[in-house]
Structures are given as structure tokens and as C-alpha cells.
Structure 1
């Protein structure tokens, strides 16, 4: 696991709603995590992934430049645990082959997401 300057794991955030992304970033940083992003497009996240690897990730399914499928598959290839954070139940259809990935419906209290990240990090160590 990659330890950041703050001592916590690095979480990639892929979320195109600015308010949600910034709140999520603040909540994770307050809980001791390092944050990569938040990225608002799949293209920006893929560019970052060319040279970096997070410890865990939180992905919205539907971004302005399309579904997060390519990011999800790249994270799986690297064995990086991630969860889906989406407000659209029907988005599950976009990632039908990733049904094993934890799914949290928006909106969710910050404590739920922080707890889910802790579980992903523990399962990854």
C-alpha cells in the first residue's frame, strides 16, 4: 500500500459533479487518506494512471466523457480495489460484468464512504 505524506492510503476519486467531488475529497482527507484527483473525466483519470497507481478508488459510473468502464478494468488489472458511487441504479447495466464491485448509492453519508474505503484498504493489505 502506498503511504502518502499524511500517512494514509491514496484514493483515486473519479466524480464529475464538483460539489460531490470536493465534499468527498474533504471527507477522505479528514479521515487521513491522500486523494488523487478528483478527476472529472475518464480521460483525465487514465492520463494520471499512466504514471501512478492508487491504493483504492471511488468511481462514479457515468462521467461527462462516458462510462468509467475502462478505468474500472484498468484498476482490476492492477488489483486495485474500488467501489462504485452512483446516484443511478440503472448505471449497473453499464458495468454488468463488474457486479462483484461494492456499490454505494448517492447520496450517502460521508461516514459510509469512509468506512467503505477502510474496508477496501484492509482487504487489500
Structure 2
């Protein structure tokens, strides 16, 4: 696992619901992570990924500019572990090629997401 200069793993957060994104950002930071984003569109996350690589990522399945497919593909290409965090079960069909990825349905306690990030980083999922 790579870490930032401050020793904290970097988590890309892709979430277009402001309250969820900010709460997730705070909870991740409280748990010892650096947060990239939260990005509210796939385009913004892809722009960031042109020059940076996170240690892991939490992706909302469907954003205002479409499904997170391109971001997920780029992360997969770089072998960055990620999970999908979605409030809509039907989003699974949008991203069927990622059936092997951890999928957490909203709402869940944020501790569940923090624990899932820890598992991604140590390779337990």
C-alpha cells in the first residue's frame, strides 16, 4: 500500500450527494485517511486521475454525468482497489462487469464504509 507523505492512505471519494460526501470525507479523515475529492462527477474524478493515483476509492454507482464505469475501469487498470456505494439496487445492471467488486448499498453506518476501506487496503475483500 502506498501512503501520502504524511503516512495516511489516500481514498478517492466519488459521490454527488453533498451531505453523504461531506460526512464520508469527515469520517474517513477521522479514521486516518486522506481524501481526494469528494468528486461530484465522473469527469472531475477522471481529470484528477490524469495526474494522481489513490490507494483505494469509494464510488457512487450513478452520478449526475452518468455511471462510474470509466472511473472504475481506470482504477482497475491501475490495480487500485475500490468499492461501489449505491442507493439503488438496479445500478448493479449498469456496472455488471464489476460483479466481483464489493458493493455496499446505501444507507449504512459510515463505520461500515471505513471498515470496508481498511479491508480493501489489506486485500481482505
TM-score bucket of the superposed structures, by smaller chain:
over 0.9
Q: For 2:23 and 2:6, how far apart are their aligned partners in 1? A: 18
Q: TM-score, normalised by structure 2?
A: 0.96
Structure 1 unpaired stretches of 5+: none
- Report deviation, 1:79: 0.1
Q: TM-score, normalised by structure 1?
A: 0.96
Aligned residues: 124
Cα deviation digits, residues 42-70 of structure 1 (max 9, x gap)? 00000000000000000001100000000
Instruction: State the secondary structure of the residue aligned to 2:11.
Output: strand
Q: For 2:13 and 2:5, how far apart are their aligned partners in 1? A: 18
Q: For 1:84 and 1:76, how far apart are their aligned partners in 2? A: 13
Q: For 1:35 and 1:14, how far apart are their aligned partners in 2? A: 10
Q: For 1:123 and 1:8, how far apart are their aligned partners in 2? A: 17
Cα deviation digits, residues 20-77 of structure 1 (max 9, x gap)? 0000000000000010000000000000000000000000011000000000000000
1:22 aligned partner:
22
Cα deviation digits, residues 79-114 of structure 1 (max 9, x gap)? 000000000000000001110000001011011001
- Report deviation, 1:8: 1.7
1:93 matched to 2:93: yes
Two-structure CA RMSD over aligned residues (Å):
1.1
- Compared CA separation, residues 6 and 108, structure 1 to 2 (3 A): farther
What stretches of structure 1 move > 3 A for 4+ residues in a row? none
Q: For 2:108 and 2:73, how far apart are their aligned partners in 1? A: 25
